[in-house]
Amino acid sequence: MPGVYRFLLSRRWAVIALTVLLLIPVMIRLGFWQLHRHEARVARNELIGRSLKAAPVAFDSLSSPGFAVPGDLTWRTVTATGTYDTAHEFVIRGRTEPDGSSIGYFVVTPLKLADGRGSVLVNRGWVDSGTDAASYPAVPAPPAGPVTVTGRLRADETTASSGIRDRGGLPERQYKLINSGQQAKATGATVLGGYLELASATPAVGSSPVLLAEPNHSDIGPHMAYAVQWWLFAGLLPVGLVILARREAKERAEEAAAAASAGELAPA
User: Residues 251-260: what's their mean pLDDT?
Assistant: 77
In terms of pLDDT, which residue wins out, 9 or 223?
A: 223
If you average pLDDT over every residue of the chain, what do you get? 88
Domain shared by 77 and 99, yes or no: yes
Tell if the pTM clears 0.85, that is, is over it.
no
- Is 156 part of any domain? yes
Strands 103-113 and 191-202: unpaired
Q: What's residue 82's pLDDT? A: 96
Domain shared by 20 and 92, yes or no: no
Domain shared by 189 and 62, yes or no: yes
User: Residues 103-124: what's their mean pLDDT?
Assistant: 95
Q: What's residue 5's pLDDT? A: 75
At 11-38, the pLDDT tens digits run 888 898 899 999 999 999 999 999 999 9
Domain shared by 128 and 184, yes or no: yes
Q: What's residue 214's pLDDT? A: 85
Q: What's residue 98's pLDDT? A: 74
Q: What's residue 135's pLDDT? A: 83
Identify the domain containing residue 14 by its residue range: 3-43+221-262
Please say if the pLDDT value at position 130 is more than 80: no
Please say if the pLDDT value at position 163 is more than 70: no
Domain shared by 162 and 227, yes or no: no
Domain shared by 187 and 82, yes or no: yes
Please say if the pLDDT value at position 226 is more than 60: yes
- Assign 261 a pLDDT band (cuts: 50, 70, 90): confident
Please say if the pLDDT value at position 167 is more than 70: no
Domain shared by 61 and 35, yes or no: no
139-152 per-residue burial string, b: 16 or more CB within 10 A, e: under 16: beebeeeebebbbb
- Is 185 part of any domain? yes
Domain shared by 142 and 225, yes or no: no
User: Residues 127-141: what's their mean pLDDT?
Assistant: 84
Q: What's residue 208's pLDDT? A: 86
- Is 18 part of any domain? yes
Q: What's residue 219's pLDDT? A: 77
Please say if the pLDDT value at position 146 is more than 70: yes
At 189-223, the pLDDT tens digits run 999 999 999 999 998 876 789 999 888 777 788 89
- Assign 176 a pLDDT band (cuts: 50, 70, 90): very high
164/93 Cα distance (integer angstroms): 11
Domain shared by 131 and 89, yes or no: yes
Q: Which residues, in sequence order, are bridge partners of residue 109?
A: 122
In terms of pLDDT, which residue wins out, 131 or 76?
A: 76
Q: Which residues, in sequence order, are bridge partners of residue 110?
A: 121
Domain shared by 190 and 86, yes or no: yes
Domain shared by 72 and 171, yes or no: yes
How many domains does the chain divide into? 2
- Is 212 part of any domain? no
Q: What's residue 248's pLDDT? A: 82
- Is 211 part of any domain? no
Domain shared by 190 and 250, yes or no: no
